[in-house]
Copies of this chain bind each other. A is one copy, B any other.
Amino acid sequence: MQSDSGDLRLSAQVTSLVRSLHGEVLERLRDFIVEGNILPGARIPERLLCDRFGISRTPLREALKVLASEGLVELLPNRGARVRLIDGQELVELFDVMGCLEALAGRLACEKITPGEFDAIERLHHEMYGHYLQRNLHGYFACNQAIHDRIVLAADNATLRATYTNFAGRLRRVRYAANLDADRDRWGEAMREHEEILDALRRRAGDALSDILFRHLRNKRRAAVHRETETLLCNATLTATKR
């Protein structure tokens, strides 16, 4: 009655969250939130979501509990769930953790990457460079993310992959893409960093790649936090509800 489903993507966290209403709802709700369909801080009545997904409250509540443990939503006792709003402080924290995960991924990737995987990344890099030259922000970001994802994949560490996916989801809720639009310098800098990344990966220089990736994320953060603090302040006053 409610939905088709057939989406075979695995749960971000653990493969054991199997096909079931609960697992189904978990993914759909996570995507729904990550894609920014609910305003941070806004109350989410269970009933509404139940209707939306065509299920009863039990599996929905289970999903909410999991999303809370993932840090995407916030559970207030007797007052329901709301999308956690990420302030500047937390954004900084997230970027640092993300940076260390990427740094590890880079290091491991240098140990384990196959020539085929490297070639794929190299192609993505050149494609990304094309987008950069054409000032195609959307294409640029798609390639960018694909590259980082593939480095994580090449690291061949399922635990790292799951953790990375989790944090990527949290960060994705915060749109920092637009920054490059206004900040051409940062865009150029990012592109140069990616040249370094590719070079270190080619040389299988784990230490160097690890360093570059961590710096890369810190620079990303610097660019992101600027703009984000403003919009967050705005959001906070607009959507944060009374306690």
- By a beta-carbon cutoff of 8 Å, the part of chain A in contact with chain B is 11, 13-14, 16-20, 22, 58, 61-63, 65-66, 68-71, 73-77, 84, 90, 93-94, 96-97, 99-101, 103-104, 108, 157-160, 162-163
Contact = CB atoms under 8 A, between A and B. Distances in A.
A20 to B, nearest CB: 6
Nearest to A159: B93
Given A18-B76, A90-B158, A96-B104, A13 B71 contact: yes
A44 to B, nearest CB: 13
Contact of A84 (B16, B18, B75): B16
Contact of A61 (B18, B62, B157): B62
Given A17-B65, A66-B68, 12 more contacts: A11-B69, A13-B71, A71-B159, A90-B158, A90-B159, A93-B158, A97-B104, A97-B159, A97-B163, A99-B104, A100-B100, A100-B103
A160 B96 contact: yes
Nearest to A105: B100
Contacts of A19: 77
A14 B157 contact: no
Contacts of A90: 158-159
B66 A65 contact: yes
B159 A94 contact: yes
A75 B16 contact: yes
Given A96-B104, A100-B103, A108-B96, A69 B160 contact: no
A69 B159 contact: no
Contacts of A93: 157-160
26 contacts: A13-B70, A13-B71, A16-B68, A16-B74, A16-B76, A17-B65, A18-B75, A18-B76, A61-B62, A62-B65, A63-B65, A66-B66, A66-B69, A69-B69, A71-B162, A90-B158, A93-B158, A94-B159, A96-B108, A96-B159, A97-B104, A97-B159, A97-B163, A100-B101, A100-B103, A100-B104
A183 B145 CA distance: 44
A59 B84 CA distance: 22
